[in-house]
């Protein structure tokens, strides 16, 4: 951190200038926090697939943009009117803020808080930006930007991180863990004794496995073409794993005596029409397909024949943040981790420096990681 004028500092960050060019390391000027904002020194950030969608051209964002929306660190300073945190507090950043007062928040849907409307631009609610490169304004992805050593975020995005929880673990519960876990427990509503099929066992899918197991599913079936991810899925609670959707379908037919699965949860790195079609066919009467993953920009992955839904009364629904309420569920998940009921250390396959960020995403796309974590220099 280097002092500048008017309370601004300089920070090292990874930015995407345009699709298909990867992450570029640079120095940015970061403004002081304004009303209801805090400046955070990040210690760790998760390498989530959503950030890869930016560099692959599959996320509609404003370029250039500072990457990273999973992050944990320490509050360095606060702006006026901040009540939720104070300087020195350890925090997790929720990639969707939770103000607690808007209509979604006050009706139990903090995952859709209206203050998260600028996720793709990183612009703050007053119409300005906090990151700058010369005369150029930059936003942080999901108004977080945890691929920067320092960032300004909304106080509504700050959740306390207990002293005994490592920053690397804290970063993961800002997105991937609740998104996957909640997709099974809340969005799908898995119940004891049910059969669940999960497509994709990366950082989000592995937590959908944990959620389904914790909810009491009898059969937790994972479909993933990567052997390493299938092996790890068993660590997280999968009862059966398959490389191919057809093999999984045949198993489900056999093990349920033709009744098929109760739930299918789609958590691949990139959603395709083939995955959605397989999920629709694997669920039986009154079965539910929960879609958590994003697909290619401009492609429609959900192409479902109405008869497939009507005849078996199947349901298809999307899940944002796994239907979790950040202020309640992030502390809850950390308590489950503390008690040994939720495996989070096992999610971290490799750690990377800022300079290794592109290599980290290559490892992810090569199927070598469940979750990579960026550890900022201290």
Q: Which residues of the chain have pLDDT under 70?
A: 1-6, 378
* Eight-class DSSP state of 115: G
**301 and 150 Cβ atoms separated by less than 8 Å:** no
| pLDDT score at 6 | 52
Is the CA virtual torsion 178, 184, 186, 191 positive or negative?
A: negative
N residues, the chain: 378
Beta strand pairing status for 2-3 and 90-93? unpaired
Whole-model pTM: value is 0.96
Per DSSP, the chain holds a count of helices (H) and strands (E) of 11, 19
- The total of other beta-carbon atoms located within 10 Å of residue 350's CB is 16
- The total of other beta-carbon atoms located within 10 Å of residue 232's CB is 24
Beta strand pairing status for 37-46 and 150-154? antiparallel
What percent of the chain is predicted at pLDDT more than 90?
A: 94
Closest Cα to residue 228, out of 213, 245, 241? 241
What's the gap between Cα 261 and its chain centre?
26
């Amino acid at each position: 951190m280097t002092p500048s004028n008017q309370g601004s500092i300089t920070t090292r960050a990874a930015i995407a200038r345009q699709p298909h060019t990867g992450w570029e390391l640079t120095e940015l000027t970061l403004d002081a926090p304004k009303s209801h904002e805090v400046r955070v020194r990040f210690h760790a950030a998760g390498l989530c697939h959503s950030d890869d969608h930016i560099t692959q051209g599959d996320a509609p964002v404003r370029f250039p943009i500072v990457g990273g929306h999973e992050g944990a660190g320490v509050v360095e300073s606060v702006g006026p009117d901040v009540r939720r945190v104070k300087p020195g507090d350890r925090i997790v950043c929720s990639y969707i803020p939770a103000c607690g007062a808007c209509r979604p928040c006050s009706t139990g849907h903090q995952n859709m808080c209206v203050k998260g409307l600028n996720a793709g631009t990183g612009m703050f609610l007053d119409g300005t930006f906090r990151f700058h490169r010369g005369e150029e304004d930059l936003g942080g992805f999901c108004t977080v930007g945890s691929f920067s050593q320092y960032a300004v975020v909304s106080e509504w995005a700050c959740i306390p991180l207990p002293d005994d929880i490592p920053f690397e673990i804290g970063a993961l519960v800002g997105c991937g863990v609740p998104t996957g876990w909640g997709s099974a427990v809340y969005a799908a509503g898995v119940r004891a004794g049910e059969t669940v099929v999960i497509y994709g066992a990366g950082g989000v899918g592995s937590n959908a496995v944990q959620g389904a197991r914790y909810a009491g599913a009898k059969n937790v079936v994972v479909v993933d073409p990567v052997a390493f991810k299938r092996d790890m899925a068993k660590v997280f609670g999968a009862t059966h794993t398959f490389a191919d959707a057809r093999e999984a379908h045949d198993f489900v037919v056999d093990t349920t005596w033709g009744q098929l699965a109760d739930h299918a949860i789609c958590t691949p790195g990139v959603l395709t029409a083939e995955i959605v079609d397989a999920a629709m066919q694997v669920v039986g009467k009154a079965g539910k397909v929960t879609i958590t993953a994003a697909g290619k920009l401009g492609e429609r992955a959900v192409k479902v024949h109405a008869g497939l839904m009507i005849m078996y009364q199947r349901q298809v629904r999307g899940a944002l943040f796994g239907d979790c309420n950040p202020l309640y569920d992030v502390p809850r998940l950390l308590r489950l981790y503390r008690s040994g009921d939720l495996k989070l250390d096992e999610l971290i396959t490799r750690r990377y420096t800022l300079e290794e960020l592109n290599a980290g995403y290559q490892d992810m796309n090569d199927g070598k990681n469940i979750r990579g974590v960026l550890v900022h220099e201290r």
